[in-house]
Amino acid sequence: MTELAAVKSALKTQAVETPSWAYGNSGTRFKVFAQQGVPRTPQEKLEDAAKVHEFTGVAPTVALHIPWDKVDDYAALGRFAEEHGVRLGAINSNTFQDDDYKLGSVCHPDAAVRRKAVGHLLECVDIMDATGSTDLKLWFADGTNYPGQDDVRDRQDRLAEALAEVYERLGENQRMLLEYKFFEPAFYTTDVPDWGTAYAHCLKLGPKAQVVVDTGHHAPGTNIEFIVATLLREGKLGGFDFNSRFYADDDLMVGAADPFQLFRIMYEVVRGGGFTPDVAFMLDQCHNLEAKIPAIIRSVMNVQEATAKALLVDQEALAAAQRGGDVLGANAVLMDAFNTDVRPLLREVREEMGLDPDPLGAYSRSGWGEKIVAERIGGQQAGWGA
């Protein structure tokens, strides 16, 4: 197989999981802007996700968020997804929107609140059993706002106890993906603030616990690709939540703020052997101003473009330059790949997959956007808290 054929083959196997909540209304802490045609039910979210997969060919799974996507029959929801050409993916828990969680959830000083939070996490594993999902994704808003508000060590003990109970409940082919975030909504301490804390808990739990890297959850200037390389080296990178940020956790379209950073991250994924099903490529985005489905298609395409460039890096030339101490030569190898226009290559890949080479154009011509605006009248649109 030629080098270009190998790159094409790898791109055809790529899978990017889209989040159910990205199809609903979202916004900032100031305002959530409603859009016409937004889904009202989990089923309508899956219909929209199916359109993303139809036109990109690489978005076969949809992450659920509980209780935002709560239904009476999850097995039936899974069948509905498959009938529309997609599958249910990671199950995301929610321990941050209940009044009881004002002072935390699994780290709360009150044992009764901690019990409630753990009960929800165990419910999510039950849902995984019903849907066939393999990934339980955990993000905790737990933390404190003021020095002395709570005991930092005790909160880590409570977290470890809760994670251990949930870990023991996981099935043979299920795993726990622990996400970190350095601040917000807690402003003094966050109980899982960085990759090191997440890694330490996952290491103690065992092989079914891995770390999720949300690209928007870092302080300005953080070298995310170093974190990715380290977690891959340790066998603890479980996946990504891809989005883009300018200032904080902006949740913008991936690659919008810094496409070079996305390329650098994807290079470390390729270099470290992370371009496998064991590393989940997931989107976690809130489309506040732009139309939902086209924005998600654009995000998937951005991930594809960064991946294609990373796959085109001349590994032998790069290694030779590095061994020889050729600083400029090594940098040039990376920059040559980044500066390559991979859009013609991706058009060829899509055509070989039987897809329209222009996913956004194909979606626009499909009439789906106009159809959902005309038909989704009445009811309560999905959004934060719904």
Per-residue model confidence as pLDDT tens digits over 283-332: 999 999 999 999 999 999 999 999 999 999 999 999 999 999 999 999 99
DSSP-based three-state secondary structure for 3: helix
Residues 95-144: tens digit of each pLDDT: 999 999 999 999 999 999 999 999 999 999 999 999 999 999 999 999 99
Residue 1: per-residue pLDDT? 62
Residue 49: per-residue pLDDT? 98
Q: Please tell me whether the overall predicted TM-score, pTM, comes out greater than 0.85 for this model.
A: yes
- CB contact at 8 A, 379 and 28: no
Q: With bands split at pLDDT 50, 70 and 90, how would you rate the model's confidence at 34? A: very high
First to last CA, the chain: 49
- CB contact at 8 A, 230 and 265: no
pLDDT of 90 > 80? The answer is yes
Question: What is the rounded average pLDDT of the residues 251-272?
Answer: 97
φ, ψ (nearest 5 deg) of residue 209 = -115, 125
CA nearest neighbour of 198 among 216, 217, 185, 184: 217
Question: What is the rounded average pLDDT of the residues 54-72?
Answer: 97
Residues 146-205: tens digit of each pLDDT: 999 999 999 999 999 999 999 999 999 999 999 999 999 999 999 999 999 999 999 999
The CA-atom distances, in angstroms, between 125 and each of 91, 115, 376 are: 8, 15, 32
DSSP-based three-state secondary structure for 240: strand
Q: Which two tokens stand for residue 8?
A: 């094409």
Residues 162-176: tens digit of each pLDDT: 999 999 999 999 999
Task: Say which amino acid occupies 99.
Answer: D
Q: With bands split at pLDDT 50, 70 and 90, how would you rate the model's confidence at 373? A: very high
DSSP, residue by residue, 89-122:
EEEEP--SSSGGGTT-STT-SSHHHHHHHHHHHH
**CATH number at 14-375:** 3.20.20.150
Residue 28: per-residue pLDDT? 84
Helix or strand holding residue 241 (H, E): strand 237-242
Residues 210-252: tens digit of each pLDDT: 999 999 999 999 999 999 999 999 999 999 999 999 999 999 9
Question: What is the rounded average pLDDT of the residues 240-265?
Answer: 96
DSSP label of 216: T
DSSP, residue by residue, 39-103:
-SSHHHHHHHHHHHHHHHS---EEEEETTTT--S-HHHHHHHHHHTT-EEEEEEP--SSSGGGTT
Q: Which residue has the tokens 């209304």?
A: 25
